[in-house]
Amino acid sequence: MTIDKTKVAIEPKSFAAYEDAVAAAGCQVSSLDESVGALIWTDYANPQALADALEANPQLEFVQLPFAGVDAFKAILQKSVRFASAKGSYREPVAEHALMLAMALGRILPERVRASTWGRKFAASLYDAKVTIVGGGGITEELIKLLTPFRSEITVVRNRPIGLAGAKVVTLDQIDTALELAEFVILACALTDSTENLFDARRLAKMQPNAYLVNISRGAVVNTEDLVAALANNVIAGAALDVTNPEPLPDNHPLFGLQNCIITPHTADTNAQVIRLFSIRIKENLAAYQGKGEWVGLVDKALGY
């Protein structure tokens, strides 16, 4: 059977906004059969189900994945299918969340919200501060804009030495030097073989004792046990985590008891935000699939994101 490029399957769960985006791209939602070449996949937590769908439907030409990170799907990314992620889609709310966490750490809000006495006077400002951001994607681009009014001295650590306006760019092999100078370190990188456990005890020790760590990327970029020890022993001043490893973090985990740690439950982008912004990506890439526009967020299979 010939593939009909106007037919699109949405699996395993759809929303009215996604169906509206399909229609806006000049396509129609269809059940997944041998005439369908495009699949919108909406379940990050079940990569095996996607692997099964690809195995059962070798005619598929394009799969749109739901989040910026594609680490859950790395076992199938080498298949001869065009994959796109949602990288860049959620850049604004996630960058906003990272900024909020950094400011909260600098004003020792984890300590103050637990306080039962007047306490000490303290503040670490983002104004003229040295900020190192690990990762060079859309979230980082947005975060650089948000930090501009603070006159922050920004260094971005990324895989390739591609410049970013408003920041100094260094490559991953120079990360230790970038950490030694930073007052705030913000993780906004993809989870890959080279970034898993990137922040272990040795690398945390490269940070200044008055420096703060913010993670809005993936929990496994940080070694959790090593972070607990670093916070408990004042190796670094504090940490704010929107992602953890494991996730969700079990009740009564040691991180919850630390006065210099903020944990938000992976809420940098909410379901309502994701549905609205992912709908835009669906429309853009279905237009590209039909030859009517440019692809956005294609997965680089060599880099793994």
Annotated active-site positions, please? 218, 247, 266
Cα 30 from Cα 118, distance rounded (Å) = 62
Cα 86 from Cα 41, distance rounded (Å) = 11
Cα 186 from Cα 129, distance rounded (Å) = 13
Cα 34 from Cα 143, distance rounded (Å) = 43
Please tell me the total number of residues recorded for the chain in this structure: 305
Structure tokens, 86: 């949602």
The set of residues, in sequence order, having a beta carbon less than 8 Å from that of 55 and lying 6+ positions away, is: none
For residue 194, what are the CA distances in angstroms to 198, 221, 253?
7, 9, 27
Pairing of strands 261-263, 62-64: unpaired
Pairing of strands 238-241, 184-187: unpaired
For residue 243, what are the CA distances in angstroms to 66, 139, 247, 248, 249?
17, 15, 7, 8, 9
